[in-house]
Amino acid sequence: MNLRLIGIGAGVLIILSLPLAGAIAGPDFAGQGDGKGGGLLSSLGLSHASGAPDGARPAGRPARPGPAEQPRTDSRCGPELSAPQGLEAQTCVLESAGQTWGRSYYRNTSGRALDAVLTVMGPAGRTVQIRCAVGTGDEPGLCETPRADSAGAPEDYSAVAEFAVPDEEGRLLLRSGSNSPGPGEG
């Protein structure tokens, strides 16, 4: 191996890691005395910039609002499924802040555009359905229903996505469900 090339690579790695090291170290390393608080964790709202307990901050240092706290999102997903034509999908029911919705992740390498219908079924016959155009390519995509106020327990909901050829016959290529048994289950 060429030792000069290894040395140059190591130098570049060190130079590129310095800004990250400064952000993680916080105000004692990067931003000392600049009033910004510094630190990667504090900038992400994961710790207090001052290291002080909740609600306390050092004198002379202004309060900095962190990112808004996001509510927790719970999901129940079926298994990842694939069709021989080059389609992969996984469908989930999601719940957060009193709302429930469905989402289907897919990858379509079939070489042709497809249609998808995603249906979320809830308690008391509640149903939400949406149609999605599924483009081709190796990049993953998603189809998602609008969020609706939850009307029961999360396990009272299920979602099904059906992927079909957009022609007169609408040949079904794949059906993916949130409550489908996974490998080794029923």
3-class SS string, 124-148: HHCEEEEEEEECCEEEEEEEECCCE
pTM of the model: 0.60
Say whether pLDDT at 177 is over 50: yes
Closest CA to 156 of 133, 125, 183: 125
Side chain identity, residue 125: G
CA distance 42 to 23: 9
CA distance 93 to 167: 29
Q: Note every long-range contact of 59-63, with CB atoms under 8 Å and residues 24 or more positions apart, other chains counting.
A: 60/35, 61/35, 61/37, 62/35
pLDDT digit string, tens, across residues 39-56: 444 444 444 444 444 444
